[in-house]
Amino acid sequence: MRVAVYYNNRDIRIEERPVPRIGPGEFLMQMHACGICGSDVLEWYRVPKAPRVLGHEATGEVVEVGEGVSRVKVGDRVFVSHHVPCGSCRYCARGHETACETLHTTNYDPGGFSEYIRVPAINAERGVYHLPPHISYEVGTLLEPLACVIRAQRLSGVQAGDSVLVLGSGVSGLLHVMLARRQGASLVVATDISEYRKQAASRFGADAVLDARTDVPKGLRELNGGRLADHVILCTGAPSAAEQALKCVERGGSVVFFAVPPPEVQLRIPVTEYWRNEIRLLTSYGAAPRDLEQSLDLLAKNALPLRDLITHRFPLDRIQEAFRLVVEAKECLKVVITA
């Protein structure tokens, strides 16, 4: 079978490998679609672990099942979560499933950017989500990104009547815009430096879009009756955006680091100001089963215009071209690799 082996953003090689052999409790999935995540092109995050087969937003068809597998059968159309929590450790018990050591160490073999994927027993038991017949494999790749967004907004407490600022209008930022609008936010403001993405933010439901190079706190106050945002969600790793996020949060509000700057970047936190105003700083990583279940429900109901997020599709043997498009971040949104 063909696999795409990542060395760096400019060096992704199509290689031949044997189709994985499954064991008891496992199944084999033929990949039909796999999205490129923004985290896939973060070289500070990916290169230290290279070479490897990336891809964690994979949908496909079950083509072989091992002994004892009960949740799927041959022919099923599924999304498979690459990271799954154990469900029983202290982190899972406290609602921090994405801090679970099992979640941090599970994955499928060899990765989503391959023709076939061996789904280990724990993933087969805890990480399988059946796609409704009317949901395409391509749209199904957005199940996990949307679930991550659901988790972040749940942790931050976004609810009806709140104001939300989304910094960065890539795919994750646009999903946050859509979900905040669905949650009943009174004002949803997005930022970016790209005219293409600013227009996309307006199209997907932002009440206003600010150029990230302007005085965003000032613009936010003008839009929000003199107030800053109840919830600020950082969806870009740009250090300037991280600094900006800290200046845009209203009293009693939250700043969510959905994306983070590189590890060498140190941020100055105005702790005294935050202390007096009960401002929360939090991070959100990945998605737990409940988030994925809620995401699947939204997909099944066609509750969000997810299909419109997909702007480009590439076959596996053109994955280098697809990565270049995502890295350049010009006129593209969701880029999907197809079998």
Residues 141-155 pLDDT 10s = 999 999 999 999 999
Q: Is the peptide bond before 217 cis (omega within 30 degrees of 0)?
A: no
The CATH code of the domain at 2-134+302-338 is: 3.90.180.10
Quote the CA–CA distance of 333 and 339 in Å, as a whole number.
20
Closest by CA to 152, choosing from 164, 139, 141, is 164
Which of 63, 62, 57 has the alpha carbon at shortest distance from 83?
Answer: 57
The CATH superfamily of 147-283 is NAD(P)-binding Rossmann-like Domain (3.40.50.720)
Pairing of strands 27-35, 58-65: antiparallel
The span from the CA of 42 to the CA of 19, in Å, is 28
**Domain residue limits, the chain:** 2-134+302-338, 147-283
DSSP conformation class of 308? G
Give the mean pLDDT of the chain. 97
* 130 contacts: CB under 8 Å, gap ≥ 6: 72, 76, 77, 78
In this prediction, what percent of the chain has a pLDDT beyond 90?
Answer: 100
Q: Strand, helix or coil at 274? A: helix
The whole-number pLDDT of residue 310 equals: 98
In terms of Cα–Cα distance, which of 170, 176, 129, 179 is closest to 36? Answer: 170
Tokens of 5: 């082996």
Tally of CB atoms within 10 A around 259: 23
pLDDT one-digit tens code per residue, 10-41: 999 999 999 999 999 999 999 999 999 999 99
Burial of 210 (0-12, 13-18, 19+ CB in 10 A): buried
pLDDT one-digit tens code per residue, 90-140: 999 999 999 999 999 999 999 999 999 999 999 999 999 999 999 999 999
The whole-angstrom separation of Cα 191 and Cα 209 is 5
Answer yes or no: is pLDDT of 339 > 90: no
pLDDT of residue 272: 95
160 pLDDT higher than 90: yes
